[in-house]
Amino acid sequence: MIELEKALQILKKHLLSPGKETVPLSASPGRYLAEDLRADRDMPPFHKASMDGFACRKADLPGPLDVLELLPAGQVPTERLGAGQCSRIMTGGQVPEGADCVIMQEYVEKESDKRIRFNGSYSESYICRKGEDLKKGAFLLKEGTFLEPQHLGMMAAVGKSRLLVTRRISAGILATGSELVDVAQVPEGAQIRNSNSMQLAAQVQRAGHTAELSGIVRDDKDLLAEKISALMERFDLLLVTGGASVGEFDLVPGVLRDLGFSSEFDRVAVQPGKPLTFAQGKGKVCFGLSGNPVSCFVQFEMLVKPFLCWSAGGDLPHRRIRCRMENGFTRRKSDRLFFLPVVLRPGGGCAPVEYHGSAHLHALGKLAGFAELAAGKTTLKRGEEVDVRLI
Ligand code: AMP
Ligand code: MG
């Protein structure tokens, strides 16, 4: 059995290299950026009014001021302002030369059609200065960034209509267990539905890659070997759920070895999720994950997700926050790093969700993340601070 950190170090030695491709900006959310992005121009690109009003010289206030021209957004000013002059300007309009402030229309009185007076008190210029947000050439986004909606606007603003991203890794997902039936089937006798494959496919997709459901195979060594061997040919990565433990029908680790793959580890000191085989060879990798639904979920988040993220050039597989425990929590055994499903509470707190162990699939539906208890630590006191990995 190895520590999680050690397992992650081993994974880093066997990362995949999916290569790069160019995609349109609209197809970039959920992809890993494969180039550094810089600003192609100053932002804003000109001195810009941030209010509807009149562009003028502060020294001339309160006026009266002669109105020279109308400057809606998108129009280049034709007149330079001199003493006692102003131009009507709209939010987003280019501030004319000579002006050093914009006064809000709410504080302006009209003396005539072409003459106004300021009746407010001056507080700020209401001008966004050229380049104040970003200078031309400034660093914008780092290679490896996992692209999300908040990145799209900034990339659009600097003209990245197409960009270089990492190719998606293709993952096959195989469930093994003689008790398993397809989701659409009604289980009979001692059968249960295969819930893990769907869950894993969604996890792979959320991590920015593609997943294909590759069916269910009985606990039969030959069938399993045949199926795994075929799938390892087709996909970059294979996720097998079930049969990874030490029971009589836990055949996955042995089958992988028989097929000539090198098993790098098969137990990780985490709870839930200890039985976990990682095997590699011929440029392909396979994770043999637990059949227990919560264990399988945790193993993906803690090991497979970082593997996929790093393989794609990303460096931040998890978001972590510090939270205060709203209730205490105690566990009996403390030999492994423990992941406790929690919900977040207003005011920076978190609370454990009802959790009956690694088969308790419904606990997953409520959680916001997992609070970490280091090996050796049995108790979290009420009010104690913990690290929570957000899901
Ligand atoms: P195993 O890892 O094969 O020993 O399975 C551990 C537990 O998880 C058993 O109770 C299995 O019935 C259950 N299980 C295995 N595979 C799945 C699956 N694909 N979906 C839901 N539960 C599963
Ligand atoms: Mg099984």
Both tokens assigned to 170: 């293709």
Tell me the residue length of the chain.
391
Q: Find the 350 Cα to ligand 1 centroid distance in Å.
A: 29
CA–CA gap between residue 181 and residue 192 (Å, rounded): 6
Atom of ligand 1 nearest to the CA of 247: 4
| Residue 306 pLDDT > 90 | yes
Is residue 95 within 8 Å of residue 130, measured between CB atoms? no
Q: Find the 203 Cα to ligand 1 centroid distance in Å.
A: 18
What pLDDT score was predicted for residue 81?
97
pLDDT tens string 119-155: 999 999 999 999 999 999 999 999 999 999 999 999 9
Task: Return the HEC string of the chain.
Answer: CECHHHHHHHHHCCCCCCCEEEEEHHHCCCCEECCCEECCCCECCCCEECCCEEEECHHHCCCCEEEEEEECCCCCCCCCCCCCEEEEECCCCECCCCCCEEEEHHHEEEEECCEEEECCCCCCCCEECCCCCECCCCEEECCCCECCHHHHHHHHHCCCCEEEEECCCEEEEEEECCCEECCCCCCCCCCEECCHHHHHHHHHHHCCCEEEEEEEECCCHHHHHHHHHHHHHHCCEEEEECCCCCCCCCCHHHHHHHCCCEEEEEEECEECCCEEEEEEECCEEEEEECCCHHHHHHHHHHHHHHHHHHHCCCCCCCEEEEEEECCCEECCCCCCEEEEEEEEECCCEEEECCCCCCCCHHHHHCCCEEEEECCCCCEECCCCEEEEEEC
What pLDDT score was predicted for residue 236?
96
The mean per-residue pLDDT over the stretch 198-216 comes to: 98
CA–CA gap between residue 155 and residue 37 (Å, rounded): 8
Q: Find the 17 Cα to ligand 1 centroid distance in Å.
A: 31
| Residue 317 pLDDT > 80 | no
Q: How confident is the model at residue 336 (pLDDT cuts 50, 70, 90)?
A: very high
What pLDDT score was predicted for residue 178?
97
Share of the chain above pLDDT 90, in %: 92
The mean per-residue pLDDT over the stretch 308-321 comes to: 92
Q: Find the 177 Cα to ligand 2 centroid distance in Å.
A: 4
Average pLDDT value for the chain = 96
| Residue 246 pLDDT > 90 | no
Closest ligand to residue 292's CA = 1
The mean per-residue pLDDT over the stretch 331-343 comes to: 94
What pLDDT score was predicted for residue 247?
84
What pLDDT score was predicted for residue 79?
95
| Residue 366 pLDDT > 90 | no
One-letter amino acid of 130:
K
The mean per-residue pLDDT over the stretch 282-309 comes to: 96
Burial of 116 (0-12, 13-18, 19+ CB in 10 A): buried
The mean per-residue pLDDT over the stretch 187-214 comes to: 98
Backbone angles phi, psi at 59, to 5 degrees: -65, -25
What pLDDT score was predicted for residue 211?
98
CA–CA gap between residue 45 and residue 136 (Å, rounded): 9
Q: Report the predicted TM-score, pTM, of the whole model to 2 decimal places.
A: 0.93
The mean per-residue pLDDT over the stretch 80-92 comes to: 98
Backbone angles phi, psi at 360, to 5 degrees: -85, 80
Closest residue CA from atom 5 of ligand 1:
291
What pLDDT score was predicted for residue 382?
96
Both tokens assigned to 179: 């008790």
What pLDDT score was predicted for residue 345?
95
What pLDDT score was predicted for residue 358?
84
Residues with CB under 6 Å of ligand 1 are 175, 177, 179-180, 192, 194-197, 241-245, 247, 250, 290-293
Q: Find the 198 Cα to ligand 1 centroid distance in Å.
A: 13
| Residue 245 pLDDT > 90 | no
The mean per-residue pLDDT over the stretch 374-389 comes to: 96
Atom of ligand 1 nearest to the CA of 195: 20
| Residue 158 pLDDT > 80 | yes
The mean per-residue pLDDT over the stretch 219-247 comes to: 95
What pLDDT score was predicted for residue 200?
98
The mean per-residue pLDDT over the stretch 265-279 comes to: 95
